[in-house]
Structure 1
């Protein structure tokens, strides 16, 4: 099958965890745009931000998204801020494959990211950042999947259902 599925959402919504679980469950490769960026740059995201700023990171992220989308089959997990760039929103909106917005409550995000040190934009005002991005997430997705309080296995089943539903209509 030529399955492809893209996961978007705020940091801590479950993109990495669910993409890996879904990939394992279906024997599909998983491409994470943050990992693609760090591999290409040969440095961690924090270092990219300090050397190139957010603009440099976002340019690298756009190229990583375009690269990931050339792979079929694949599960693609995007960085939480991928939707902040208009060119990425246009790419995501143009896709015919499922672009699934994973959502989580602010309390759940805070719980999941407690103690994290590798997310340069996770700071005291992250709730306002989340609120600012919500419209962009909604506009970029063609499916929404709430993750708060739900088991990974249940969410993986739901994502499999979405992939199968789309492949039937292809």
Structure 2
């Protein structure tokens, strides 16, 4: 299954956007761990966080990855921004495919997320400061967990797609 791609990165880094485009262009199955979790739990991520907590959600992420390691289809997998925090998840992602980190600056991420109201971790916070702080805490996890790092700041969509496609 090593022809699959696992996209990691902070929320707003483009994992879902690029994942969908790549899957259509190359006839790969597109999967999003957040979508799989919502379907499994029959509720939105915001509701899972609110009613069951972040620890419960993080365990669901691991459970979904374990299920996906048994799939033989070529896929583009978009993961949640915090997926990389558990070492167990890193090993599972690497068993699924090449792990590609879509890296963006706090400024770029805050700009992309300025009108987003769906992300539970951003609720009621100064988005730029929160993103800057959380990204600094996760930076090493992303970089150490990735097989490939693609910087997305100040690049157009086609250039980023070409870089990712080099690993298919």
Q: TM-score, normalised by structure 1?
A: 0.88
Q: How many residues align?
A: 162
RMSD after superposition: 1.7
1:1-170 alignment runs, 5 A limit:
3-71=3-71, 72-92=73-93, 94-95=94-95, 97-122=97-122, 123-124=125-126, 125-163=130-168
8 A contact 2:106–2:131 mirrored in 1? no
Tell me the SS of whatever aligns to 2:58: helix
Q: After the TM superposition, which segments of 4 or more aligned residues of structure 1 sit over 6 Å from their partners?
A: none
SS at match of 1:157: helix
Conservation of the 8 A alpha-carbon contact between 2:29 and 2:74: yes
- Cα pair 2:105 2:153 within 8 Å, conserved: yes
CA displacement, residues 91-141 of structure 1 (integer Å, 9 cap, x when unaligned):
33x538310011011111011001111111123322111100011111111
Q: Kindly indicate whether the alpha-carbon contact (under 8 Å) linking 1:16 and 1:32 is maintained by their aligned counterparts in 2.
A: yes
Unpaired segments of 5 or more residues in structure 1? 164-170
Deviation at 1:23, TM superposition (A): 0.5
Give the Cα separation in 1 of the matches to 2:14 and 2:84: 16
SS in structure 2 opposite 1:162? coil
Q: Structure 2: where are the runs of 5+ without partners?
A: none
Q: Deviations over 1:44-79 (max 9, x none)?
A: 000000111000111111111222333321001100
